[in-house]
Chain A
Amino acid sequence: MPITTAYETKIDHVSILDEHGAFDRELGEGLIPNDQLPAIMEHLVFCRLLDETAFKLQRSGRMGTYPQNTGQEMPSLAAALAMEKADWLVTCYRENTGLFWHGLPPECILLHWMGDERGNHIPAGVNATPIAIPIGTQMLHAAGLAWAEKVKKTGAIAVTFFGDGATSEGDFHEAANFAASLKLPVVFCCQNNGWAISVPSSVQSAGETFAQRGLSYGMPCVRADGNDLFAMTKVMKDAVARARSGDGPTFIEAVTYRLRDHTTADDARRYRDDAELATWEARDPLPRLKRWMEEKGLWDATQHEKVTKAGEARVAEIISNAEDISPPDRTEFFDHMYAELPASLIRQRDTKRTTSLGQFPEDLV
């Protein structure tokens, strides 16, 4: 037998609450305690309101470029639900639901996109890294953060998020390889939302799934319905438990969809089919969960109206907090360059000049 099978595998796809409302009791029962679900729904309503309001802020000139999260709320929220406070959440820029659940004040995100770096000052005790703008670089940091937890034997882990496009970057492959070969407590979650700006996911990979990207590095890989909170929670809980028990990383592909433009600087109508968008609008994760909760008697119209009103008030308050913050000092960007500012930089800061004559007025005749 000169040719034998050296390796064979399969990729599981996990769905618990499907787009038609069917619920798999065997996998889903008790996964999220019923008494936790109203708080989750309230959080989701708030996050969606904030996201849509942020879009309007940009359109009215009150905020810079903003990448909407709408439609992708479940994967990072599921991670946050499965994580402990000490665990690290290492995201790109469509993970508001998870970041806020993990403790990041929403004002931070607004300030960031309002061009104010004070928004990146993550409060002490919140183990999350700032929004990662360059694509696909943050997963290596997650590997390192997790490695440190392993060294310190704390039991804490890291969960990192990135898009389908990010798996084309070399850094992604290096992160996956480091994590798997060093058996680091990391969870890799690829939000496959179908598009990297205008480029469809089929250009990023000729493979059938993104989940199989992790296979070559020797880590368990799974795909889940990214618009299904229950499916995402199941795969996240499994992956977090595996990481925490010392069995190394897991690769999760969350199949979801970017229901809005890439950012407010983009116009997806230029390259995206209306029909495709309509298909995914029907799979919107929020109405799906809401309908199911209503059927189960866990949610009703009155509650929804109440949390919507409360959410609107909270969004308004957060926006005024972000907008009313005093402007940063003109030289604030010098303050955190080094632990100790070199003399040359102190001179630049104090004179607001880089020119020698301007900085030494005594030299002028």
Chain B
Amino acid sequence: MTTENETEMTLVQAITDALACEMRQDDRVIILGEDVGLNGGVFRATEGLQAEFGADRVVDSPLAESGIIGSAIGLAMNGLRPIPEIQFEGFMGPAYDQLCSHAARFRTRTRGRFTVPMTVRVPHGGGIHAPELHSDAPEAIYSHQPGLKVVMPATPYDAKGLLIASIRDPDPVIFFEPKRIYRAFREPVPNQSYTLPIGKARVVTEGTDLTVVAWGAMVVEAAKAAEQSDASVELIDLRTISPLDEDTILASVEKTGRCVVCQEAPLTLGLASEISALVTERCFLHLEAPVQRVAGFDTIMPYYKLEMEYLPGTDRIGAAIDETLRY
């Protein structure tokens, strides 16, 4: 059911809508990246924007990720609100230096004189049958870098509100878009601009037996696994990865006493490990079982014939839920 003030949208449509809303109300906002113009981006996230806002505000850049991010830093430092797009997370490598050595540091190394209010949009994760280096989950790398914020929505409604909040944020934000659920489902999204707070998780379903923490496309898998379980599962969608909403996680685990964390990324030194440490340090006396991490394996993400063997699915998440409950 939608009213006249909202429209049924997929996650990728909500992203396009957020970009259009912000570009209409703030002429400092410009988009740059590979194929973002006439082609509307390889996932069509910028579809129609060049037609509406012109080629000076929706810019097809040369093919150079370091160039895209480095020049966006300059644009941001000099009064604009750039939204650079990196076409796939696997192509962030060349931009790493600009993101971590520069974007993350300008505010502190100039003691606030220069800031980098840019939002780097990056399709994230596997499960879409894509070629090599089109299916990775590098969020921990950028969450480990002080000075960057990292956001990842899991629903169309959240995507719009969080993207607008990211664009308006005074600091650099990496906005990971779970490409596996770009078009997985629709939901009503308000036509007007709105923001959702960065750094605030969402309790998807309330429960009393066990807490499951997930983000991005894993929220959908975790929800399926929770539904299949007989237990009362509280599912938390992080929405922001850095800064982490510690309060929501801790309040939930204090209530349930059991926690499973799901991520696509490799196990070792991933975000699940950070959350496990947080819960263990802060909820130790509430815990009824060790925190379990359901993650990708510590291997290179395989090509698509085996990607579903790599990605945690309802079987692995479900088994972790059962074992944690039985502990």
Interface residues of A (CB under 8 A from B): 64-65, 112-117, 133-136, 165-166, 168-171, 196-199, 203-205, 265-266, 270-271, 327-328, 330-334, 337, 344-345, 348-349, 352-358, 363-365
Number of A-B residue pairs having CB atoms within 8 Å of each other in the complex: 153
B174 CB to nearest chain A CB (Å):
19
Not counting A135-B63, A205-B62, A354-B267, a sample of 8 additional A-B residue pairs whose C-beta atoms are within 8 angstroms of each other reads A65-B130, A117-B302, A135-B91, A197-B42, A271-B38, A271-B39, A345-B297, A355-B294
**26 examples of A-B residue contacts, CB within 8 angstroms:** A115-B303, A133-B132, A133-B134, A134-B90, A134-B91, A135-B63, A196-B63, A197-B42, A198-B35, A198-B38, A199-B63, A266-B42, A270-B39, A271-B39, A328-B305, A330-B309, A337-B298, A344-B268, A353-B316, A354-B316, A355-B319, A356-B290, A357-B290, A357-B292, A357-B324, A358-B320
3 closest Cβ contacts across the A-B interface? A115-B304, A198-B39, A333-B302
A114–B305 touching, CB < 8 Å: yes
* Residues of the A chain whose Cβ atoms lie less than 8 Å from the Cβ of B39: 197-198, 270-271
CA distance A349 to B298 in the complex (A): 10
B306–A133 touching, CB < 8 Å: no
A113-B131 contact given A170-B94, A333-B302, CB 8 Å threshold: yes
Q: Kindly state whether residue B323 has any CB partner on chain A within 8 Å.
A: yes
CB interface residues, B 4-62, toward A, < 8 Å: 34-35, 37-40, 42, 60-62
B63–A355 touching, CB < 8 Å: no
CA distance A133 to B132 in the complex (A): 7
CA distance A32 to B134 in the complex (A): 41
A168–B320 touching, CB < 8 Å: no
B94–A171 touching, CB < 8 Å: yes
* Residues of the B chain whose Cβ atoms lie less than 8 Å from the Cβ of A356: 290, 292-293
* Residues of the A chain whose Cβ atoms lie less than 8 Å from the Cβ of B307: 115
Q: Kindly state whether residue B282 has any CB partner on chain A within 8 Å.
A: no
Q: Kindly state whether residue B175 has any CB partner on chain A within 8 Å.
A: no
Q: Per a CB cutoff under 8 Å, which of A135, A204, A364 touches B327? A: A364
CA distance A299 to B37 in the complex (A): 46
Q: Kindly state whether residue B300 has any CB partner on chain A within 8 Å.
A: yes
Count of chain B residues near A, Cβ 8 A: 55
CB interface residues, B 154-180, toward A, < 8 Å: none
CA distance A166 to B67 in the complex (A): 13
A262 CB to nearest chain B CB (Å):
9
CA distance A10 to B60 in the complex (A): 30
* Residues of the B chain whose Cβ atoms lie less than 8 Å from the Cβ of A355: 260, 292-294, 316, 319-320, 323
CA distance A327 to B308 in the complex (A): 14
Q: Kindly state whether residue B296 has any CB partner on chain A within 8 Å.
A: yes
Q: Kindly state whether residue B231 has any CB partner on chain A within 8 Å.
A: no
A247 CB to nearest chain B CB (Å):
30
CA distance A229 to B129 in the complex (A): 36
* Residues of the B chain whose Cβ atoms lie less than 8 Å from the Cβ of A133: 90, 131-134
* Residues of the B chain whose Cβ atoms lie less than 8 Å from the Cβ of A365: 326-327
* Residues of the A chain whose Cβ atoms lie less than 8 Å from the Cβ of B66: 169-170
A199-B292 contact given A134-B93, A364-B327, CB 8 Å threshold: no
CB interface residues, B 263-322, toward A, < 8 Å: 267-268, 289-290, 292-300, 302-307, 309-310, 312, 316, 319-320
A170–B64 touching, CB < 8 Å: yes
B180 CB to nearest chain A CB (Å):
15
* Residues of the B chain whose Cβ atoms lie less than 8 Å from the Cβ of A203: 60-62
B99 CB to nearest chain A CB (Å):
14
A78 CB to nearest chain B CB (Å):
25
CA distance A363 to B260 in the complex (A): 17
